[in-house]
Structure 1
Amino acid sequence: MSMAWWALIWGLVSGASLLLGAAAGWWLKLPRAAVAGIMAFGAGVLICALAFELVAESYATGGLLVTALGLICGALLYFFANRIVAKRSRAPGSASASGNALAVGALIDGIPESVALGVGLVAGGAVNPAMLVAIFISNIPEALASTAQQKQSGKKAGGIFLLWGSVTLVAGVASWAGFALLSLTDPGWTAFAIALAAGGILTMVADTMIPEAWAVEHDFTGLIATAGFLTAFAVHAVG
């Protein structure tokens, strides 16, 4: 099996946690503290994966300037995309509108994450386990919260799971595209793309995951995020 197919498969695997989160949001009634705890843990995992995997790989491949440019561009891209989504979802105050906004946010988050998986295959020849775990964990609370709100508004299960199935498919395609496009370019562009994805993910963690977790967990957010960071570092060190 070619590496491009593996990129697609791993993208689908990471995106499949969205379906798990949707299933939990539909059939389970998890307390907000549990959802916030999962989000804080996922934030810690992602920060570690960014620092020790993506940014380090970008710097080793393309140097400081390319890495810095990629991080800045990725942060700005996520920032403006997130602002557009926030403005369009601010007017309707229903649970359905809020749930749809979370779903769109998960799509914006998921594209750079999945691209990072595909780019990692170009750079390292194998999927990054810490990054895969980080994405898998971080997807769950977003899909869970969105599904719970859409269910509350009366949306049917078929439409909800079709939505998350589509986002999962996009994640797989994004991972494949990250591999397919960058395997044809020079290492400098690969390094830039890795940093671009890292900048988008880091901005998402700071703007979305940590504030939402802190709103519920408050003082425990840092401890839980540290546990996630340590878990990802252990995966990195052992791997």
Structure 2
Amino acid sequence: MMMTLIVIAVVSGALLLGAVWGIYGSLSEKTEGFLVALAGGALIVSAVLELINPAMEKSSIGIALSIVFAGALVFTGLDYLVKQKWGSNSGGGLLAAITLDGIPENLALGVALIGADPLSIAALSGSIFLSNLPEAAGGAKEMTENGASKKKVLTLWGATALILSLAAFLGNLLLADVSDSLLAYIRCFAGGAVVASLSIEVFPKAYKEDSYWAGIATAIGLILAFYLNSLG
């Protein structure tokens, strides 16, 4: 249980740490774009290897792919609504992305921690940490630049970290005995949300701020995530 709590704290704490970095740290647009692309590369691996592919092996392919599509559809709709309220240039889209795909992802993380060996835990938590940190930094910075108070932004990202921590903890406690197919569907929904967030939020933002270096950063993030995954 202690290892579970430590991993949950590290993974979700990346959101709060990233928000503090984005608000108070010195973060140029190019650096921000590079880091967001880096996170995007890691998320590609996370979506395919940790969410969608394992689910395809344990459930009906047709149903699994339909739920992937549903995850993308729900994220896209919520992202649109968020931008209608906060504006297309706010960090609200990234906040919505992290929350929507993070809840089922952290539920699955909680289950994965049950009986997992240390290397597997390091691979999974490292990939999520790598994606959460720069996204939170970029999103928090944009929210403050668009008029939100620093206190409000920190509160929002802190609340998000708390929600995702709770999701992982509940996954560890309550989903240990659920069927593999149900857990697979949770992961498929998360994978679909990740795919939509990459295309709508992550890569367009990275290219806008860091131009062609975003392609290099994406490859680095992908390589790092593949390496972490290979450790397990």
Structures share fold, TM-score greater than 0.5: yes
Are 1:108 and 2:100 counterparts? yes
Within the candidate set 182, 197, 208, 1:189 is matched to 182
Verify the 8 A CA contact 2:127 2:225 in the aligned structure 1: yes
Distance 1:6 1:74, change over 3 A: farther
TM-score (norm 1): 0.80
Q: Give, in angstroms, the shift of residue 154 of structure 1.
A: 4.8
Are 1:235 and 2:228 counterparts? yes
Deviations 1:18-72 (A, max 9, x none): 1111111121231111111111111111222333333443344x15x25x52343
Verify the 8 A CA contact 1:49 1:130 in the aligned structure 2: no
User: Aligned-pair RMSD on alpha carbons?
Assistant: 2.9
| One-letter identity of the residue aligned with 2:81 | K
Counting only pairs closer than 5 Å after superposition, residues 47-196 of structure 1 correspond to structure 2 as: 47-60=44-57, 62-63=58-59, 65-66=60-61, 68-90=62-84, 93=87, 98-121=90-113, 128-196=121-189
Instruction: Measure, in 2, the Cα distance between the counterparts of 1:24 and 1:45.
Output: 20
TM-score (norm 2): 0.82
Share of identical aligned residues, percent? 26
Q: Give, in angstroms, the shift of residue 9 of structure 1.
A: 4.5
Instruction: Measure, in 2, the Cα distance between the counterparts of 1:94 and 1:56.
Output: 32
Instruction: Measure, in 2, the Cα distance between the counterparts of 1:41 and 1:166.
Output: 25
Distance 1:8 1:75, change over 3 A: farther
Q: Give, in angstroms, the shift of residue 14 of structure 1.
A: 1.1
Instruction: Measure, in 2, the Cα distance between the counterparts of 1:168 and 1:197.
Output: 17
Distance 1:103 1:231, change over 3 A: closer
| One-letter identity of the residue aligned with 2:49 | F
Q: Which residue of 1 aligns with 2:198?
A: 205
Q: Give, in angstroms, the shift of residue 134 of structure 1.
A: 2.2
Verify the 8 A CA contact 2:33 2:205 in the aligned structure 1: yes
Q: Give, in angstroms, the shift of residue 91 of structure 1.
A: 5.4
Please give the secondary structure, in 1, of the residue aligned with 2:26.
Answer: coil
Q: Which residue of 2 aligns with 1:38?
A: 35
Verify the 8 A CA contact 1:71 1:197 in the aligned structure 2: no
Instruction: Measure, in 1, the Cα distance between the counterparts of 2:116 and 2:66.
Output: 23
Verify the 8 A CA contact 2:75 2:196 in the aligned structure 1: no
Please give the secondary structure, in 1, of the residue aligned with 2:177.
Answer: coil
Q: Give, in angstroms, the shift of residue 92 of structure 1.
A: 5.4
Q: Give, in angstroms, the shift of residue 173 of structure 1.
A: 1.0
| One-letter identity of the residue aligned with 1:120 | A
Instruction: Measure, in 1, the Cα distance between the counterparts of 2:48 and 2:78.
Output: 28
Structure 1: runs of 5+ lacking an equivalent: none
Instruction: Measure, in 2, the Cα distance between the counterparts of 1:106 and 1:156.
Output: 20
Deviations 1:141-181 (A, max 9, x none): 33223322333355443332222111101011111233333
Distance 1:199 1:238, change over 3 A: same
